[in-house]
Amino acid sequence: MSEEIKTQILHAWSRYVQQQSRRYAKNEGSSQQHEDAYRLFKQGIKNHAKLSKKEKDELLVSITGQPA
């Protein structure tokens, strides 16, 4: 179950990054909006009830390059 959750989170992050790339190419949005969304995404991972601390750290490392 947790592997499925981790996969869904990584896919959601990938979709978000693709959308942000398109927005930047069109000069839409701001870096502050991106930082806010990024912060909320990280917080959502940290607060996820169905993932262990180790799984949360693995996800954060794969997305941010650094653990919680």
CA pair distance 53, 16, nearest whole angstrom? 24
Residue ranges making up the domain that contains 8: 2-64
- As for how many domains the chain has, the answer is 1
* pLDDT computed for residue 1 by the predictor: 60
pLDDT at 60 over 80: yes
Mean pLDDT of the chain: 85
* pLDDT computed for residue 67 by the predictor: 65
Instruction: Look up residue 36 and give its amino acid.
Output: D
Give me Rg for the CA atoms of the chain: 13
